[in-house]
Amino acid sequence: MNAALIAGLRAQCGGPRDGALLRFSLGNALLGEGLADEAADELRRALDLDPAYSAAWKLLGKACLALGDRDGAAAAWRQGIAVASQRGDKQAEKEMAVFLRRLA
């Protein structure tokens, strides 16, 4: 199922629907398949398109952690907390704060 989803999402990349949500969705699907390196790349693309996308920061931290990059995960979550705070996204802010504390 995820292979078909990933293929469908990849087919849309570079087209008129390409954007932060598409790249986030692709990153999420890739991470679900255990492809953390590819997921991190797509999540970074999502954040290039929308640096205020707090959910992408949260998932990027998880992808970094899956790659064994604890510093990268912490940096993503710190940035995500700052973004979520600015946007008033209290739930994402709280979740990333918990992830960051568990990392420490």
Summarize the confidence of residues 3-32 as an average pLDDT: 97
Residue ranges of domains in the chain = 2-103
Instruction: Name the band, by pLDDT with cuts 50, 70 and 90, for residue 1.
Output: low
pLDDT for 2 equals: 87
Q: What is the pTM of this model?
A: 0.95
Summarize the confidence of residues 9-37 as an average pLDDT: 97
Q: Does domain 2-103 have CATH number 1.25.40.10?
A: yes
CA distances from 41 to 46, 80, 85 (A): 9, 17, 24
Instruction: Name the band, by pLDDT with cuts 50, 70 and 90, for residue 13.
Output: very high
Contact 5, 29 (CB under 8 A): yes
Measured CA to CA, the distance from residue 31 to residue 35 in angstroms comes to 5
